[in-house]
Structure 1
Amino acid sequence: MDEIYSKPVSIIVPAYNEEVGIVQSVRSLLSINYPSLEIIVVNDGSTDMTLQKMIEHYDMKEIKKVIRKQVETKRIKTIYQSSIISNLFLIHKENGGKADALNVGPNFSHYPYFCSLDGDSALEPDAFLKVMKPIIDSNEEVIASGGSVRIANGCKIRNGHIIKIGLSEKPLVVMQIIEYLRAFLMGRIGLSRHNLLLIISGAFGVFSKHWVIEAGGYKTDTVGEDMELVVRIHRMVKERGLKKKIVYVPDPVCWTEVPESISILRRQRRRWHRGLFESLWTHRKLTFNFVKGETNWMEYPLSL
């Protein structure tokens, strides 16, 4: 894709105590095939060597920059820019949680679109070319786009890239693989077709910065900040009577590891379902509201 026909994207990577994999994750992002992007690592008050690892490996130098606080966040302590990779930035801030770290993105980023990406996720090199296509082709009608997430357990990973796709021998992981395939390759394709998506995975999603700022950014008092933001944007668009879309693209592949033990899986699912309940309860006025559009009366009760 030629730079003339693409839209620049800022990749926001929230990091808290990620000293083991942060350098490798950033290295993987630097090899992404996309004409114009910047990478912003937000160190959310890590207590380990995450900050030092980034500074040493990428020769980060402190810079002075005024940040327009369009979304509330915890205090930013220091801003760094790599002296060897000009589009790589590091922001050191007080700890405020993942949602607070993500909110630094709209405030600091230089581009009209940003991607929320987990620090331990691995992207296919051409993922952005595919996930940005519906946004570019829609003349700003599409304001958010999500990609498919696949499970990396059992795969061979080198330098943040999937070298060989494999299948885990653990039954719990296999069950989650089937679940992910059903959710991403069946459920979300149909929901996206009718503009009914209520969630874009926090592991990999692109948003219009303007609309995220209009919505007030990610909420820091919920555990399901990714879903709550999407539902809030839907609600805002419907209330204003606008025709905007949030879509899902099955082609982009983001790889992430899933729990291999029942105890960790239980904690994860409790968090997911709590986030789901909080989002649905916060925006409960959308339930069975036939006046405001399809998103309200079809997908909302379905999520219940």
Structure 2
Amino acid sequence: MDNRSIGIFDSGVGGLSVLNRLVKLLPNEKYVYIGDTFRMPYGVKSVDVIREYSKKSIEFISKENLKAVVIACNTVSSCGLQNLYDNFDFPIIDVITPGSVDAVCVTVNGKIAVTGTNATINSGLYKKYINDINPDIEVRSIAFTDLVPAIEGGHSLDEIGKKIIEKYIDDFGDFDYDTLVFGCTHYPLAKSNFKKIFQERNKNVFLVDPAHNTALKLRETLEQLNAFSDFKEGSIKFFTTSEPERFKKLAIEHTKLKKEYINPVMVDLDEELKKR
């Protein structure tokens, strides 16, 4: 038994797609979510900057007495994990490893399309992990550069977001994939637009959301450590580095949480860390 908190970190609201899965699978846990919306998007920044920003965010929420952290950000999972392993002693779970396993399990024709930010796609980790499992699978990856800002701007479900997605889907050309990986935790928030596009094109594609297997990995980790809580009801504390009202609006839109649970507190990470 362990009643400490589980940390969830993303560059913005994308990690809400992971939080949804965690709460569904482990509803009685205490969660602390931080979205670094002030420095978003991470995917166009340098590796050193991504490592610096992610370390600050985890350092901040570590004051909440954490038993594990889920990096609900593919960009940080692709290039900042080792830095976090080196600086913190609690279990840290990424989203790329579980997502790769899921993609390999569901593809039938052995052709997988990977979407993500520039940093995630440039890292090549999805292709590496997928081909480590099955070297015969063909993987093609494209950075959906404009999609994260669009989703953060409230366009995940509207025509603006749909047109952005269509533009990048077209870039896959005649690649006959049957599986598409959401290589950014923001993208499942626009899942209905992805579905519409494929339906309009009469194309059957399995959409892989790494959040599902990530939640299973967290449960497995807690089980191994005998670290489940004994709370009768879970709780969630939200932190954001800018625009808490906008964050709240998007969180209400994209989660099934009760509105009274969503009260994000804005923090200045640099100022908060100076106090320690």
TM-score by length of 2: 0.30
Higher relative contact order (CA 8 A, sep 6+): 2
Q: Which has the higher helix share?
A: 2
TM-score by length of 1: 0.28
